[in-house]
Structure 1
Amino acid sequence: MALAHIIWVDDEIESLQSQKLFLENKGYDVQTFTNGFDAIDYVKDNLVDVVLIDESMPGITGLETLAKIKELNQSLPVVLITKNETENLMDEAIGSQISDYLIKPVNPNQVWLSLKKIIDNKRLVSEKTTTAYQQQFRNLFMALNSNPDFNEWMDIYKKLVYWELEMQKTDSPEMVEVLQTQKNEANTEFFKFISRNYSKWTGPKSVEGPVMSHSLMQFKVLPHLEKGTPLFFILIDNLRFDQWKAIQPIFAESFRILEEDSFYSILPTATQYARNAIFAGMLPIDIEKKFPNQWKNDDEEGGKNLHEEELLRAQLKRLGKEDIKVSYTKVVNNQAGLDLVNNMHNLLTNDLNVIVYNFVDMLSHARTEMEVLKELAGDEMSYRSITASWFEHSPLHQALRKISEKNIRVILATDHGSVRVKNPCKVVGDKQTTTNLRYKHGRNLNYEPKDVLAFRDPKEAGLPTPTVNSSYIFAKEDGFLCYPNNYNYYVNYYRNTFQHGGVSLEEMIVPVIKMQSK
């Protein structure tokens, strides 16, 4: 590793020779100056890693030197060393973006620790993260291979997300690759788990399963209703667990996060199915029976999520909650977001406020979701970063900040996640076959059985039967379903894009978060 280049500016630098020697023995290259002017000239023409500055020097003070150095190089770390402990000096120093603040007399170890923090921080964090994951790798491997149940799967996925976020701090591409392989392996096992168990949770003879879309309101939202404390149920569409982790720090500024939980989205992991199930409190097969005029199958004309409020009110009535005061707001564009901000105070008189926020639609505006996301989010890390940036500047964030001083509760959830698709799988179907890339239903579907989870009888998956003999298939892991015509064009167009509708940890295990205003 190259020597770190330090300059130390102090009008009594002679008395610090032993300190300089100590740092040189630790492998730093140290250049000394007795006044700020010489230091500023040196920084103009030389590469420097850290500047140590004494505050009180004749001619030009440490803070004045600091200001001039920052003009030359905004990101150069500066450590201020001073005898003066007055608060206003500290405030001024911190306001001038110093990296550290040491009080004289300083001992050599203090200075060394400060340099270590500044110069070696990234490397040390990276090494520590890599070692910690290596230790966890075996535990995760064992958990994957010990036939996990639905609760253990939620735990495994959370841990994988945790390590994926931690790996952003490391510069070891090898370890990132090891984690990616482990995540792929987890998705392979998860697909087998869902194939074995899904119809047990949703079929006519269902047994107890996890909280899923159709039981979310009953078990994760309504129990938190409390007279006198408005409850906000916010559903952001298409929000994966790792995207929640990206926006969590922004929420944490105004809210206390009481519980970070997850639930299972039903199949297809698509808005029309999963979100209608959440608000109706029913599986799609039952929504179609009870609300034949409101339910639309994929191949029918018209909007598929136009009756959420009606379904929600019917569910509340069924659960004996018809006397509570409820509002329902759907935000599908920026203007609706701004209207929400202005209306937030009026919502505080309700017991329950449901806000549906179309994040992916908002992100892409009128252009196709595909192209925008393809340009902006080529991988998971950039997808998380867009999510955080979008949320921070969104009307939703503004609206929540506006009421965060009031005594309120917030439940944040989503309808389903998404997965970055990489492996094309050929499917042949008739004209009625649906166009979604992660699931299809139709009459004469031809496919490779190992590529998909198939339900020849949609009832087994709690799904309506759009036409006689139609079956459903769901893509697994990172596969996407393509027709043979124009095959190469579509494969190249859709590969590495984020899609949803199928079976993967990212699409099915999604966040439900309980928060309280601080």
Structure 2
Amino acid sequence: MGGISILWVDDEIDLLKPHILFLEKKGYSVTKCNNGADAIDLCEENNYDIVFLDENMPGLSGLQTLTEIKSKKGNLPIVMITKSEEEYIMEDAIGNKIADYLIKPVNPNQILLSLKKNLDHSRLISEKTTSNYQQEFRKISMDLAMVNSFEEWVDVYKKLVYWELELEDISDSGMVEILESQKQEANSLFFKFIKKNYQDWIQNPENAPILSNSLFKKVILPEVKKSKGTLVVIIDNLRYDQFNIFEKSINKFYKKQEEISYFSILPTATQYARNSIFSGLMPLEMEQKHPKLWRNDPDEGGKNLFEEEFLQAQLSRLGENLKTEYIKITNLKAGKQLSDNFNSIKQNDLTVIVYNFVDMLSHAKTEMEVIKELASDDKAYRSLTNSWFINSPLFEMIQKAQSLGLKLILTTDHGTINSKVPTKVIGDKNISSNLRYKTGKSLTYEEKEVFAVKNPKDIMLPSLHMNSSFIFTKEDYFFAYPNNYNHFVKYYRNTYQHGGISLEEMIIPCAIFAPK
């Protein structure tokens, strides 16, 4: 602490001698100054840690001095001290990014508290966060030993995401490693839970959480019918941690009314999960009822080309006659164009926007070295997606939707996981290409590392052949072929994949917001 230097600027600095002695006894170094012009010069010549600045001084006022110092040293914390409680002075000072605001007469403990708040802030938060997580760690460990329902799994996962975000900025890397191992343990147990319960969920929907195929009917449609205009945004491939960060920006314009955590169907891949949201059907039912719209893995062409048709068919089946518009955004130009013409949607009862950027980013991490650098781990991946979101046409649209008074529902089709552990698989040449699930005939695999479904119809998935099966990887595993194994593993390890079974891929948010 002896290294902390303070500049104290006050035209009656001599009257503050007891305060300065108090600080010096605590080990702080204090430079005294009695006018704004000298204070500006001193700040240029020295590297102070913090400045205490009187507002009411002859010559340059405190606010003028503040502006000058900030123009030269923007990151230097400045604490404003004033006799006046006039609102405009506070507003001006706060607008100029002061670190704190004290009203005379100040006592030494107020000064000390302000110093701790501004200079020890990160350390104090870091220590408090660490000790809080240490207590919570034991509670989560006990929860993991007992968890036995999908509701409990949602609670555990949301706690883990909360602590992941809380620990993100602390300097104790040991704590982050402990959290990582706890997430790993949770995913291992979650895999066993899904293996045991998933087939029952599909065959007995009354025992199931809200799944992709029931999301529209159970959650979205009732909200659309309640209000005049609703905007539904489906961001492809969005995880809970990314959603929680986006929400901070959305909260400036919208107030969250409800958050539903729902489960993606298996495979947790766009062609299955998102088609299921729009059709309100499981993949096997889509193949049977809409053979012209459904595409299986080996089929040529895009697998999500008929979402609008699936949505209209579902609305028709439910007997709903809503003015509906479906828009898919896959590039910046289309996003900007929609944002520029956004007012045209205000006549709709329901507007659905599918936004594809996050999915493209996760694929780019596999293929582009620069994205591998920028999204090297979950923290960096979150930061990159948040930077995209706050600068995107999508965020502009959300702001415009608020000014049009539209309700907002934000959701996704599945999440994603950073895949680190290879598991070998062998199959014929028509085996599907996804790294987190495989379908085809004559599959050979490591039984302990997958959830194998010999008869796809048991979980309402189409069979490609008489003896086709589906296999899904667990935790952060990914499938690799034995030939050219090392090259393949090196290329795909530490890339974001989806299609398998993990908390990150399966438990996903659907949030309902009302405009502020």
Counterpart of 1:513? 511
- CA separation in 2, counterparts of 1:71 and 1:397? 31
- CA separation in 1, counterparts of 2:146 and 2:368? 38
Counterpart of 1:483? 481
Letter in 2 for 1:22: F
Q: 1:483 to 1:43 in 2, by over 3 A?
A: same
Counterpart of 2:397? 399
Q: When the two structures are superposed, what TM-score results if normalisation uses the length of structure 1?
A: 0.95
- CA separation in 2, counterparts of 1:240 and 1:469? 34
- CA separation in 1, counterparts of 2:431 and 2:166? 42
| 1:318 corresponds to 2:317 | yes
| 1:226 corresponds to 2:244 | no
Over residues 434-491 of structure 1, what are the superposed CA-to-partner deviations in whole Å (9 max), with x where a residue is unaligned?
A: 2211111121211111111111111122110012211111111011111112211121
The worse-fitting range, judged by mean Cα deviation, of 38-47 and 448-457 is 38-47
Following TM superposition, by how much is the alpha carbon of 1:363 offset from its aligned partner in structure 2, in angstroms?
4.5
Following TM superposition, by how much is the alpha carbon of 1:59 offset from its aligned partner in structure 2, in angstroms?
4.3
Following TM superposition, by how much is the alpha carbon of 1:371 offset from its aligned partner in structure 2, in angstroms?
4.8
Following TM superposition, by how much is the alpha carbon of 1:432 offset from its aligned partner in structure 2, in angstroms?
1.0
| 1:273 corresponds to 2:252 | no
1:454 to 452, 455, 458: 452
- CA separation in 2, counterparts of 1:40 and 1:480? 59
Following TM superposition, by how much is the alpha carbon of 1:168 offset from its aligned partner in structure 2, in angstroms?
1.7
- CA separation in 1, counterparts of 2:15 and 2:364? 67
- CA separation in 1, counterparts of 2:255 and 2:367? 33
Following TM superposition, by how much is the alpha carbon of 1:226 offset from its aligned partner in structure 2, in angstroms?
2.7
- CA separation in 2, counterparts of 1:370 and 1:514? 35
Over residues 489-508 of structure 1, what are the superposed CA-to-partner deviations in whole Å (9 max), with x where a residue is unaligned?
A: 12111111111110000000
Decide whether the 8 Å contact of 1:326 with 1:350 is kept in 2.
yes
Following TM superposition, by how much is the alpha carbon of 1:335 offset from its aligned partner in structure 2, in angstroms?
2.2
The worse-fitting range, judged by mean Cα deviation, of 54-63 and 375-384 is 54-63
Letter in 2 for 1:14: D
Structural mapping, 1:258-407, within 5 Å: 258-321=257-320, 323-360=321-358, 363=361, 371=369, 373-407=371-405
Following TM superposition, by how much is the alpha carbon of 1:384 offset from its aligned partner in structure 2, in angstroms?
1.3
Counterpart of 1:165? 165
Decide whether the 8 Å contact of 2:365 with 2:496 is kept in 1.
no
Q: 1:325 to 1:60 in 2, by over 3 A?
A: closer
The SS at the match of 2:347 is coil
The worse-fitting range, judged by mean Cα deviation, of 340-349 and 9-18 is 340-349
Q: 1:160 to 1:109 in 2, by over 3 A?
A: same
Letter in 2 for 1:419: I
Following TM superposition, by how much is the alpha carbon of 1:62 offset from its aligned partner in structure 2, in angstroms?
2.7
Q: 1:2 to 1:472 in 2, by over 3 A?
A: farther
Over residues 244-285 of structure 1, what are the superposed CA-to-partner deviations in whole Å (9 max), with x where a residue is unaligned?
A: 001001111111101122100011111001011111111101
- CA separation in 2, counterparts of 1:193 and 1:367? 30
Q: 1:71 to 1:412 in 2, by over 3 A?
A: closer
Q: 1:448 to 1:49 in 2, by over 3 A?
A: same
Counterpart of 1:49? 49
Counterpart of 1:94? 94
- CA separation in 2, counterparts of 1:224 and 1:59? 61
- CA separation in 1, counterparts of 2:347 and 2:367? 36
The SS at the match of 1:182 is helix
Decide whether the 8 Å contact of 2:410 with 2:511 is kept in 1.
yes
Over residues 360-405 of structure 1, what are the superposed CA-to-partner deviations in whole Å (9 max), with x where a residue is unaligned?
A: 2564899976656423211111111122211111111112211313
The SS at the match of 1:465 is coil
Over residues 35-56 of structure 1, what are the superposed CA-to-partner deviations in whole Å (9 max), with x where a residue is unaligned?
A: 3344334333333110112223
Letter in 1 for 2:442: N
Decide whether the 8 Å contact of 1:267 with 1:502 is kept in 2.
yes
Q: 1:386 to 1:367 in 2, by over 3 A?
A: closer
Q: 1:291 to 1:337 in 2, by over 3 A?
A: same
Counterpart of 1:76? 76
| 1:239 corresponds to 2:214 | no
Decide whether the 8 Å contact of 1:364 with 1:372 is kept in 2.
no
Which structure 1 segments of 5+ residues have no match?
none
Letter in 2 for 1:453: F
Letter in 2 for 1:292: P
| 1:26 corresponds to 2:26 | yes
The SS at the match of 1:226 is helix
- CA separation in 1, counterparts of 2:311 and 2:86? 60
Q: When the two structures are superposed, what TM-score results if normalisation uses the length of structure 2?
A: 0.95
**CA-based RMSD:** 2.0
Letter in 1 for 2:231: F
Q: Percent identity?
A: 53
- CA separation in 2, counterparts of 1:462 and 1:354? 26
